Structure 1
Amino acid sequence: MRHIEDFPADFLFGVATAAYQIEGAVNEDGRVPSQWDTFSHRPGAVLNGDTGDIACDHYHRYADDIRLIKDLGVTSYRFSIAWPRIQPGPGKTNPRGLAFYHRVLDELDRHGIIPAVTLYHWDLPKWAADRGGWLNRDVAEYFNDYAAILFQEFGRRIPLWITHNEPWCSAFLGYALGEHAPGNRNWREAMIASHHLLLSHGKAVNTFRSLGVEGQIGITLNLTVADPAGDQARDHDAAHRADGYANRWFLDPLFRGEYPADMLEVFRPTVGSYDFMHPEDAAVIRAPLDFLGVNYYTRSIVFDKPGDGPLNLGYVQPEPAESTAMGWEIHPESLYRLLTRLEREYTQGLPLYITENGAAFDDHLGVDGQVHDEGRITYLQQHLVAAQRFVQDGGALKGYYVWSLLDNFEWAFGYSKRFGLIYVDFPTQTRMLKDSAHWYREMIQRP
């Protein structure tokens, strides 16, 4: 790979985590239950019955973990704030929750690490879920109230704010496919949830502006490239639908103030009326962004499959030798294609951050007591080359965050999938830098 100094001097190299996946301490210091506490304790919802009750115990070990971040030599740390730690109910604030994140920020300040904070990484408080969750338009207001608390409390301490992480997952995995909390299987509900998630984002951005908060604010979308499995017109049409489902359903309202017309028609037989979309919502959702966060892991290869849900999509599975432990194809070229397409069609010079990129592999301790994860090193190296190519083309990419700092609770997969640069032995909570962590540090520090 070309030298890391080929990236601009102010380019941010970082690592990323999420609150429910690492913090644990679910009943401490005034934290109330989240929908993921409820969901993970539901029999059969999560592999092996795993929960986030303890996770990586980061709530108690944050200082040691931040020292590990410092040891990696990264310039920035992306983490999420747990809404259930901040608001025990509507109109209420938990000072102990705020104090915890002040301690985290203090530790980051001590080590010169720039915080990038996500407001919502899927851990909706149970009290909001009990009021209908993202199906209830009022939850957009609850989220705005929560965001305002954080802006006022931490506004001078955090330069990069992200409203939502991957609203596609919150809406479609949570409400249509049943794989994430709350575990529903209703496509109309997914449409409603996606709209209210975007509405809450826009409201929070406007509140950020009205409060005069220093720093920048954006949103993170999980985006992909959808390629047709064949050359027939119906396969190309399928790829266009897949792109609408995964990408345009969120990009178009954020940047163009409207949902893609073709996808409104695709979903209409299932959704029926779009009465949950109010005329004034479009302008709120399109509130100007300071940057767009991009989570990229793989591409999709699709074909027309009549009768398979409202989208009539089939997905080609990659060969095991060409995929990660998640079964996701390793395809770095599509990261370059995605970034180029975003700048050409949507962002047009707006700063971009790769807020997540990484891979799960079947990591294990070797006979020498080390974790030799050559597959992850290759994955990261190839994707950094793709990112670097985009930057050298003049693309406005400003940072890159590896997912993830630590092996953690990987949602419906529990603790079975390891994404971390740092190996976690969950029974003992021992941390160990994998070979990929050493490689990442050397890449960043290379003269």
Structure 2
Amino acid sequence: MNYKFPKDFWWGSASSATQMEGAYNIDGKNQNIWDYWYEIAPEKFHNKIGPHDTSDFYYKYEEYIALMKELGHNSFRFSISWSRLINEDQSVNEKAVEFYNNVIDTLIKNEIEPFINLFHFDMPMYLQNIGGWENREVVILYQKFAKTCFDIFGDRVKKWFTHNEPIVPVECGYLGEYHYPAVVDFKRAVQVGYHIMLSSSLAIKEYKKSNQDGQIGIIINLTPSYPRSNSKEDLDASNIADLILNRSFLDPSVLGEFPGKLIEFVKEQNLLPIYKSEDLEIIKHNTVDLLGVNYYQPRRIKAKESEIKDGDPLTAESFFDFYDMPGKKINPHRGWEIYEKGIYDLSINIRDNYKNIPFYISENGMGVEGEERFKVDGKIEDDYRIEFISEHLKWVHKAIEEGCNLRGYHLWTFMDNWSWLNSYKNRYGFVEIDLNNNYKRTPKKSAYWFKDLIKNNGF
């Protein structure tokens, strides 16, 4: 069967500032939480590789963009580093403006549309020192940062996103120990999540005030929560997981209000954040034009099998257990489940319950550890990645045929990039980066397969 995609479909890839720029202390860039954490605890990072050794995009962006052009991409999503653009005294770093202007102009010159995200897990350390997202003052400073970006770059950038995976700083920084400040405190987590949501709405408000002719959205990692069975207990557990981990940002971003059941849950658990009543009006009237959806794997849920013990810290997982489904398809090189139909299920959910808002798959991808073992004649033969992408795209195609307003597909990521505590452990890129050979860039087999897909607008 042939799978053809709509005209002007967005084909490309995604990355983020901290994961690809390097130049962590160059040209006036301030420290962010990753620079700081690596400085004080390098042993937490895989092979002790921190954000100082990333793909060197700061210096090599022209070469990377030329390669994107050669490989047929028509769009690229990246982020602006808040700690690079805005100085501690809140003045604008002109060197950063020059860099981002050059990147945007080079993309446009190469007929690649820039999609820009404003926050991708990289809080400036001078703001984390006053509480980060726990502090309402940081929300207001983020609003100013967003306005600055729209003012400087908005004449050329027409696709903006306020946050990437806003649940992740909440889940990993305040309910788990994978992101700084690595604390477990549900009450603080709820405050952080609430402030991130408010900051997104305030950025949208600024964009709408600017009267620019683009679109602004948010990128959410939508992970369908599948219950083990249809028992009431399993269904309740999967609904709680969905409320906390998906709908906490999806509903207010698209529908303008938090789910009633989530508010009930937060009140019952005595986790209500500090807020102002006018905030809810801001959230209500500043919803997104466009949604980015990151999808990697499903979430399998079952009812909690053991009671919460007194003294145990409260987390999202105090209310459900993960279910290890027998016979599931696994990425053997990463350990994650592969469930292609999930991308269709979340699309239908957006169509039916979220106004069929325009959206695109902003990340999908397959991480592989030790990928160099698949090298033949100097090139990685990643047939497993071609299969992964094509099997997901079959379900994307089906969703479009059934009326989903799905506008594009971006792979995570263009070049192998640095990934938080995992550093370079799992490789996701179309292009191999050889860390031991001056970041030598070699497209993998999947890069050429994807080039043909884009040329034919289908496969």
The alignment's TM-score, normalised by the length of structure 1, stands at 0.95
* Alignment correspondent of 1:247: 246
* Alignment match, 1:14: 12
- Whether the 8 Å CA contact 2:340–2:392 is kept in 1: the answer is yes
Give the alignment of 1:1-40 within 5 angstroms: 2-3=2-3, 6-40=4-38
Alignment of 1:81-120 (within 5 A): 81-120=80-119
CA contact (8 A) 1:407 1:421 kept: yes
Q: Secondary structure at the match of 2:163?
A: strand
Instruction: Give how far 1:430 is off.
Output: 0.8
Unmatched tracts of structure 2, length 5 or more = 309-313
Q: Does 1:340 align with 2:348?
A: yes
Q: Deviations over 1:335-384 (max 9, x none)?
A: 101011012111x2321111111110231152422101111111100111
Post-superposition offset of 1:112: 1.0
Question: 1:268/1:85 Cα in 2 relative to 1: closer, same or farther (>3 Å)?
Answer: same
Per the alignment, residue 360 of structure 1 pairs with: 367
- Measure the CA separation in 2 of the matches of 1:222 and 1:277: 25
Across the aligned residues of Structure 1 and Structure 2, the Cα RMSD in angstroms comes to 1.7
Deviation at 1:186, TM superposition (A): 1.1
- From 428, 431, 442, give the equivalent of 1:432: 442
8 Å contact 1:292–1:353 — kept in the other structure?
yes
Write the letter of the residue equivalent to 2:362. Answer: T
TM-score, scaled relative to structure 2: 0.93
The answer to whether the aligner puts 1:313 opposite 2:320 as a matched pair is yes
The 3 A distance-change label for structure 1 pair 421 and 73 is same
Deviation string, structure 1 residues 380-421 (Cα, Å, up to 9, x no partner): 001111111111112111111111001111112111011111
Q: 2:274 aligns with which of 273, 276, 294?
A: 276
Alpha-carbon contact 2:187-2:272 (below 8 Å) kept: no
Deviates more, 1:252-261 or 1:103-112: 252-261
The one-letter code sitting in structure 2 at the alignment partner of 1:328 is: W
Superposition pairs of residues 34-433 of structure 1, within 5 angstroms: 34-43=32-41, 44-268=43-267, 270=269, 272-286=270-284, 287-305=286-304, 306-307=306-307, 309-310=314-315, 311-317=318-324, 322-323=330-331, 325-346=333-354, 348-362=355-369, 363-365=371-373, 366-428=375-437, 429-433=439-443
Distance in structure 2 (CA, Å) of the matches to 1:227 and 1:321: 15
Q: Which moved more, 1:312-321 or 1:273-282?
A: 312-321
SS at match of 2:27: coil
Query: How far 1:320 moved relative to its partner?
Result: 8.2
Instruction: Name the CA shift for 1:316/1:323 in 2 (closer, same or farther; >3 Å).
Output: farther
C-alpha displacement of 1:47: 2.4
- State, as a whole percentage, how many aligned pairs show the same letter: 33
- Spell out, residue by residue over 1:178-208, the C-alpha distance to the aligned partner (whole angstroms, 9 max, x if none): 2112222211111001110011111111011
- 1:321 Cα deviation (Å)? 5.5
Aligned to 2:311: none
Write out per-residue CA displacement over residues 281-332 of structure 1, whole angstroms, 9 at most, x where no aligned residue. Answer: 1222231321111111111111112446444221123668523644221111
| Structure 1 unpaired stretches of 5+ | none
2:191 and 2:350 map into 1 onto residues whose CA distance is 25
1:147-167 Cα offsets, whole Å, 9 max, x none, are 111111011110100110010
Asked if 2 retains the 8 angstrom alpha-carbon contact of 1:220 and 1:294, the reply is yes
